[in-house]
Structure 1
């Protein structure tokens, strides 16, 4: 019997799912993150997880994006062989129309991040299309769809290798994860694909991330195959690296590890790692010919009631009056609350500024003694002054850092995750500072922004230079004026603490 599925139902279902995942975390993820929060002993990591959970609840209540990077859309679609689709568009265009409608929704505008001509003009398509679409034709009379929205920061940390057949997958993963840094916003999930060809390993690694967080169930029942053995071993050993939430050092780096494998050539062992960040976003629906398949809202009681207090001893900083000598008293790992005028700028703005500096052209804004926030905010809706505005990965600005600091007098930077050695040296040499905001807490951060206006490069859209007025915006000193990096010292300390605890337990046994 043939099932007839209407074009409009496909479009509506995709649009609804993408809106849904922009502000609702999956319950399994919330539960796992809460477990990590309860057991965490590193205060910096515990604070970061608290901010992620508070942000998640706020987004669920306010129907605004969990992260300012609302992702590149990936769709896995299985079309039953007994299905007839009625419509005048190709299936790919139907799916992209669903994406378009979701990202242009007036009540919850999502950031358009997709650029055409990726090695040339890099022009924003304006509606976050096209999606990355994977098709299968399968037996049956339904259309089964998984949609996911993947942030660029975590996608950029994907790793691939063609190992020799005798090489250890575990050893390779444990070598790669520290190299991934914190730009993928841990704690999250690692999807690992083994086998097939190069592209197949990447595909099954991505597909594995659609599965629920269930590692603790696996720990209780035990492994029944090689893939499950790898999951258990890697979950244990990756967490013992001590990288922790946001890379600041702690007990939980991964909430789960997924492993999919596929038969491969005798001479090959393709292996891929794709991380899923703290803004885990995916949904599933099935079309049966009875109309659109819409998502069911979760119960807000599923979110833990967590508060985050910075304490009275926290350092409060007025950005409008802060001096270079003040910054030199700040120490790595310290919590700071920022108030005053904060500039923004990310990749495109930094490239343009450096080009102008090299040509001797004046910049649109004076950076002397100022702080710049690496962010591309979501457009505001209703009474908002700005949409969700969490940090972007700071290392992408590393190659511009020395020039910008030394030629403009920039005093400080705010971003996500660690800085590379070249940027740390530039910060140290110029007695500047780098502050870290929590990735995955974009809506929470936006509530500290009381005013926003574009002050430069308006043609760059979300990558324009804004001037924010902020009130008590929470950040951590990640690289102080002496070059001490919390992302280096934190994981080292916690890896040693975890090893010491393991040794004590072994001796007791």
Structure 2
């Protein structure tokens, strides 16, 4: 006979509360490892980016608001004991989806709905971030263990799979793959690697490893006790030697930890999955045994280090209301700016719609001449907020529209996160424009620079609508200047270190 039945309401409430919790609080192990990486970082740009992420994390914890505007696709792993019983007639996935809807529409702390129901055609937002991706496993015992995670689109889009030959080097493949990911996954973060089984098993192993405690500092201190731990350290050191650094700006730390899980596989196969986890590392596990819903205690605020951000004396102040091409031409890649004035917003759906209007010869609903546009989909505001957390989205998704908009509208400045592709960089150079980056993973911090917000166009697109923000001293870095120089090329090249493999053989990713 099993234990006390678990009430349906307790299951739903526990999952919903856990999702609210992880939107606000980083796991303590992540904060500790990021703080250590920040302390030893030598690249000024990367150190500043990590400082912004840590300050943002502390602000989110104090303010009870999401650390990142992309509150993610919900992933839930439910391990049900063979003797456990959930007192419900509904399937587990349906209970999870009910919890997701409750959590993401909570008026006290609304989370951004990012899920579209039809992935191929209409791509209409479901409005409550459901459905989740739910995995159910039957295990021994009389309780239910639940792990919830919220995975941002920027890092999830960088997931990779390969069917390697059995004799192929896992380390070489990982290095080539990570170097090709760019910075859209918002490093510094984690790498989850799954090896073995079948294609879907390898990817599931990789995702599952990201829920394990971060322990690389302890592992390095005590030394490896198995071949798998030796491999973790080898990949950790080799990836960091690539010099990618925080936000791809170049630096000593790209990953805080590397996790590897394996499963027996066919003799002819070596399936490998790799999933990066961004700086918004959000996951939590709890156990239900029929005694009531799970409860979650916020970590003490002194967990976070007290960090002062770079002073204004090291930055250039820029007024957005009277930008000129001559002023933009004076900015240099890697330079820090503080933006004040009126700033347009617009991302994937808005760009696609504007491009279609231009193709049809229709006037745009906003004048982009001499303006700056911010690639952002903010969280809805609460209380006296002007806007909720409003960090940048991955800019490469706007690359296909960049040349058309720069040529047809006179758009002057774009703001997002991560690198731009070669065609977009060439277009920026030819049009004398510039691309700036805000720190991915510092959404709550960025939102505090926004003084007002008004809807201008495409209100049916929800968080992807075009708005006009008025900002004051919004911190950004010049990523691509008017001459076409990209900090995402120059930064990592400066900080890249020689690769030395176990046994002394050099590696050329």
Give the TM-score, by structure 2 length.
0.97
The whole-number CA distance in structure 1 between the counterparts of 2:154 and 2:489 is 19
Kept in 1, the 8 Å contact 2:33–2:217? The answer is no
Structure 1 stretches of 4+ with a deviation exceeding 3 A read: none
SS across alignment from 2:355: helix
Partner in structure 1 of residue 232 of structure 2: 231
The whole-number CA distance in structure 2 between the counterparts of 1:420 and 1:113 is 25
Partner in structure 2 of residue 67 of structure 1: 68
SS across alignment from 2:496: helix
Kept in 2, the 8 Å contact 1:227–1:261? The answer is no
Partner in structure 1 of residue 206 of structure 2: 205
Q: Which runs of 5+ in 2 are unaligned?
A: 501-509
Partner in structure 2 of residue 464 of structure 1: 465
Kept in 2, the 8 Å contact 1:185–1:440? The answer is yes
The whole-number CA distance in structure 1 between the counterparts of 2:492 and 2:454 is 38
Partner in structure 2 of residue 298 of structure 1: 299
1:355 aligns with 2:364: no
Q: How far off its partner does 1:310 sit? A: 3.0
Partner in structure 1 of residue 118 of structure 2: 117
Question: CA RMSD for the aligned pairs?
Answer: 1.1
The whole-number CA distance in structure 2 between the counterparts of 1:432 and 1:353 is 19
Partner in structure 2 of residue 439 of structure 1: 440
Partner in structure 1 of residue 107 of structure 2: 106
SS across alignment from 1:171: helix
The whole-number CA distance in structure 2 between the counterparts of 1:485 and 1:285 is 44
SS across alignment from 2:146: strand
Partner in structure 2 of residue 2 of structure 1: 2
1:220 aligns with 2:214: no
Aligned residues: 499
Kept in 2, the 8 Å contact 1:34–1:53? The answer is yes
Q: Deviations along 1:52-73, whole A, 9 cap, x unmatched?
A: 0000000000010010000000
Q: How far off its partner does 1:93 sit? A: 1.0
The whole-number CA distance in structure 2 between the counterparts of 1:160 and 1:227 is 20
Give the TM-score, by structure 1 length.
0.97
Q: Superposition pairs for residues 71-150 of structure 1, below 5 Å?
A: 71-150=72-151
Q: How far off its partner does 1:85 sit? A: 1.4
Kept in 2, the 8 Å contact 1:479–1:486? The answer is yes
The whole-number CA distance in structure 2 between the counterparts of 1:332 and 1:449 is 24
Q: Superposition pairs for residues 54-453 of structure 1, below 5 Å?
A: 54-453=55-454
Q: How far off its partner does 1:499 sit? A: 7.3
Kept in 1, the 8 Å contact 2:193–2:274? The answer is yes
The whole-number CA distance in structure 1 between the counterparts of 2:314 and 2:56 is 24
The whole-number CA distance in structure 1 between the counterparts of 2:28 and 2:231 is 25
SS across alignment from 1:124: coil
The whole-number CA distance in structure 2 between the counterparts of 1:21 and 1:117 is 27
Q: Deviations along 1:250-284, whole A, 9 cap, x unmatched?
A: 00000000000110001110011100000000001
Q: How far off its partner does 1:95 sit? A: 1.1
The whole-number CA distance in structure 2 between the counterparts of 1:415 and 1:374 is 5
Q: How far off its partner does 1:225 sit? A: 2.9
The whole-number CA distance in structure 1 between the counterparts of 2:59 and 2:154 is 22
Q: Deviations along 1:354-396, whole A, 9 cap, x unmatched?
A: 0000000010100000000000000000100100000000000
Q: How far off its partner does 1:187 sit? A: 0.3
Q: How far off its partner does 1:221 sit? A: 2.7
Q: How far off its partner does 1:139 sit? A: 1.1
SS across alignment from 1:381: coil
Q: Deviations along 1:115-161, whole A, 9 cap, x unmatched?
A: 01101000101100011011111111100000000000000011110
Kept in 2, the 8 Å contact 1:354–1:404? The answer is yes
Kept in 2, the 8 Å contact 1:316–1:336? The answer is yes
Kept in 1, the 8 Å contact 2:190–2:255? The answer is yes
Between 120-129 and 86-95, report the one with greater CA deviation: 86-95
Q: Which runs of 5+ in 1 are unaligned?
A: 501-509
Kept in 2, the 8 Å contact 1:390–1:441? The answer is yes
Between 312-321 and 402-411, report the one with greater CA deviation: 312-321
The whole-number CA distance in structure 2 between the counterparts of 1:483 and 1:376 is 27
